[in-house]
Structures are given as C-alpha cells and as structure tokens.
Amino acid sequence: MGKHITPNANSDKLFEQIYDFLLERIKRGEWKANEKLPSVRALATEFTVHRLTVFKAYQLLKQNNMVYVKDKSGYYVQPGNELPPGAQQDPIISAYVYDSHLSEIHQVQASYQFSKALLDPNLLPNRYLSDYVKRVFDLYPKVLGTYSTTQGDLELREALSHYFTERYRCELSSQDILITSGSQEAIDLLARVLVRPRDVVLLERPTYSPAIDVFQRQGAEIVPIEITPYGYCLEQVEELMQKYKPRLFYMNPTFQNPTGYTVPAEQRKRLVDMAAEHQCLLIEDDSNPDIYFEKAPPAPFFTYDTAGYVIYIRSFSKYIAPGLSIAMVACRPGIMNYLLKAKSLSDSGTPLLNQKIFLHYFFSERMQQHLEKLRIALAIRKEIMEEELSATSWQWSSPAGGFNLWIQLPESTIMDRLLASSREQSITFVPGSICDPLRDMNTRIRMSYSYLNEQQLREGLRRFISLYSELFP
C-alpha cells in the first residue's frame, strides 16, 4: 500500500494522497457499504505518516458523506457511494463544488447541541400559534389553493411597511419589500443577482458562516473587516472601499452572529454615507433585533439610507416560528426588479399559508407578550452559561442580545482534538474557523444558549469544561 504515497511530500500533499487513496477504494467498492475501515493508527503506520494526517483525511471523507463514525469504534463506509455498475468514474460528481460548513455541523446528532443558534421549541407559544393557524383558515378558506405572488402577499407587505414606518419613522413602501422563505433565501438571491466572479465582497471577520459559503460559491473575492465590541474601524473600511471598490459589504451589525457584538449608532450613519460615496452596497442582515436583554439596539442602517445603498434583510422566523420560514428584503426598485426575476425562477413565491399565519401572529398583542417572556428566558440562559464559564480562564464579551457566546479559548487549544472529543461526548459547538473568511480563528468557538434548556446548558457546559481540562491540562 505504501507505494501510493510519495515519501518526501509535504503534509498537505500527503493528506491529499491519503484522501484520494481512500476515496478511490470506497468508490471502486473495495470496501463495501457499512464495512469498517482501517483505524487511523493502522493507516498512519502503514503510510508512515503522522496520525493527524490520516485523521484529517477521514474527517474530510466524513464531511463529504463518504464515511460515518459509529459510537467510538471507528470509521465505516457510508452506503450509496459506490459507482453505478459499469461506470468507471462518475462524470457528474466533479460538477460544481459547494461548501456548506454549518449545515454539516448541524447534521451531527448530540445531546448537548451548543452549535444550534436556534430557539428551543419549548420557548415558542405553540398553543397560541395553532389558534392563529385556525383563524387563518377561517379568514381565508382557500389559502391552500392559492399561490402567493412572487413578491409576497400584499396584505403582509402593507402591514410590514406600516410597522417599519411607525417604528423607525422612515418611509418604507410595500413595493420595496420582498417576502422570502427565510433569510438564507434572501442572502442567496442577493448574491446571485449582485455578485459575479472576481467581484470584491466585504465580510465581517468573523461572520455568519453560510454567508461565506454563498459568496465564495459566486466566485467573489472576499476581503475581511474586523468586528470588535466597538464595531468596525471606519478608517480601515474606507481604505478598503477605496482600494478594492467592493461590490457590497455583507454585515450583521446587531447582536452579530457569531460574536454578539453590536455596531454603535454613531458608526451607522457614517458608514451609510461612506457606502454611498464609494458606491458599495450594504447588505444589512438583521435577524433578531427584538432579542435584547436591557435596551433595544440602535436603529438599523437602512433607516439612515437616503441614496438607496442599504439592502435590508430582516428575518422573523428565528425567534417567532422557525417552521414558518419568513423573512423580508427591503431595497430600492432597481435591485427589486432583479430580485423578483431571480425569485420567480427559484421558487413559485413563499407559501401563502406561511405568510398569512405570520401576518396574523406577528401583529398581535400576544406577540409582544411572547417577546417579553423570551427576553427573560434567554437572559437567564445566558447567565447560566456565564456562571459556568467563570470557572475557566476563557474569555468572552457578554452580549447585550442574541443567541450566542463567542469564546476565546487558550492559544494552546488544538481544535481538531477538541471537536472530535466533544462529539464523542455528544457535545457540539461551532469552531471559529468556519465563521472566519480567512479560515483562521482556530481557538475561538461559538456556543449558543438558545436551544438547550437551563439544566442541559449547565450539565453540558460542565462536561465540556471538564473534557477540555482533561485534553489540555
């Protein structure tokens, strides 16, 4: 076997060779579906390489759904990856490589899912929601027989227009609103409409992981903007706008994901002016401005926008009803025209039923009560996390809202080991590197306090902390 491996190659090269070696044999069916693969130790000895190199190759095979891990006993061949009979190699599989890092982490089943920045379903007003659904059917008996328009239900768009106009005292017409099936669709449509290969896109560092994947898929050149508890360094932003003439800056400036940081009000207006001056669009992704612990965050960037350079994505479902998948985009007509065409080709409009349920629930009094309860519940969960974390030397900046803690582990942490051991203990978290456009930040992690209940949070975190001390004493 060893002859397949070039002995003096550097470790990247070795890694690739081992990966290809394994992949080829799985595809050719030399190892059958559900068969146990050689151990990391055995392969490392056989190839005379470091075990970490073999481990990495297996990790990548796992990411690509070629192998799976069973209990703690090793790697097994994932069924269904054999070549179709007769085919020498699959001409299709090489087609179009997408990455979707976060969704791969979410596929892992675990007891302590600190990786999920989703709301615990028990925190939702499930009983009331089903009342609203029944009401919707009484009001619109033919709602399931009707397609929405591509742009979204007019009644909903008008209600949202009224809501934003009232709340922020800035005109927003129903014509400038598009309803999407969640914010992920909004980001994807905008990237497809606005970004071409080699366009420069500014992203926060760190940022929302799927946004990196989406803009990279479009072939964008990504330039990072550091985000800190004090926002951005505006001088740096201006310099980069001048130097690279970026197409757009995708930002998540309120209770940012993953850091929880909020860009202060005084930077918002200046940045909007700067964007207009440099003709750089700002995509403001605002996912949970209502989930604050003490006071409401500053008004969104779009409220400062007079020249039409801010595209505002607002998602609601994350903290109201994830099962509805409702978000909106507000933007100027020139961009809306293109978004509408893109949306009409990518689905037949967001389902009308979901829009109507959202409409009736979101603008109800019950909604305000739900929000108040939610803020308290999440504040308590965050405090439990921080209480447990205070026993460590780890660092984090306490967020004023949102779902996440962004934790700095000691520099000596070896992330791959921590990830693998945590999964064995049924604990998941998001490694910082997948949130970093530079794929660095190897000693940062995102842990969410929104999905687990108080007891699970405490238990899971205790286990995680003790696991960490064992690994890195």
Residues between 53 and 72 with contacts to a copy of itself, criterion CB under 8 A: 64-65
Residue of 264, 338, 383, 420 that binds a copy of itself (CB under 8 A): 338
The correct pick among 10, 91, 294, 393 for binding a copy of itself (CB under 8 A) is 91
Exposed e or buried b for every residue in 339-369, given b needs 16+ CB within 10 A? Answer: bbebbeeeeebbbbbbbbbbbbbbeeeebee
Place of tokens 């017409």: 173
Query: Which helix (H) or strand (E) segment is 201 a member of?
Result: strand 200-205
Left (φ > 0), alpha (ψ -120 to 50) or beta: where does 326 sit? beta
Q: Which of 152, 182, 206, 399 binds a copy of itself (CB under 8 A)?
A: 182
Rule CB under 8 A: which of 14-53 touch a copy of itself? Answer: none
Query: E strands within 239-292?
Result: 248-251, 281-286
Q: What are phi and psi of 180, to 5 degrees?
A: -120, 165
Among 17-25, 138-146, 157-165, 291-299, which window interacts with a copy of itself (CB under 8 A)? 138-146
Q: Please report how close the Cβ of residue 24 comes to a copy of itself at its closest, in angstroms.
A: 14
Stretch in the footprint of a copy of itself (CB under 8 A) among 115-123, 219-227, 234-242, 464-472: 115-123
Residue from 135, 192, 423, 458 that binds a copy of itself (CB under 8 A)?
192
Nearer to a copy of itself, 84 or 473 (CB): 84
Question: Do residues 210 and 106 make contact, with C-beta atoms less than 8 angstroms apart?
Answer: no
- Candidates 82-90, 417-425, 435-443, 454-462: pick the segment binding a copy of itself (CB under 8 A): 82-90
What single letter denotes the amino acid at residue 220? A
**Among the listed residues 3, 10, 71, 127, the single contact to a copy of itself using CB under 8 A:** 127
Residue 275 binds a copy of itself (CB under 8 A): no
3-state helix vs strand vs coil in the chain, percent to 5 = 45, 15, 40
- List 248's β-bridge partners, or say none: 201, 281
The only residue of 25, 135, 217, 375 in contact with a copy of itself, by rule CB under 8 A: 217
How far is it, in rounded angstroms, from Cα 283 to Cα 298?
17
Residues 6+ apart with CB under 8 A from 248: 194, 195, 201, 202, 280, 281, 282, 283, 311
- Asked if 473 touches a copy of itself (CB under 8 A), the answer is no
In the bound state with a copy of itself, the residue whose beta carbon lies nearer, of 10 and 109, is: 109
340 part of the interface to a copy of itself, by CB under 8 A: yes
Residue (193 or 223) nearer to a copy of itself, CB: 193
To a copy of itself, the closest distance from the beta carbon of 180 in angstroms equals 8
Q: Is the peptide bond before 206 cis (omega within 30 degrees of 0)?
A: yes
Cβ nearer to a copy of itself, comparing 181 with 422: 181
Closer Cβ to a copy of itself, 43 or 275, answer by number = 275
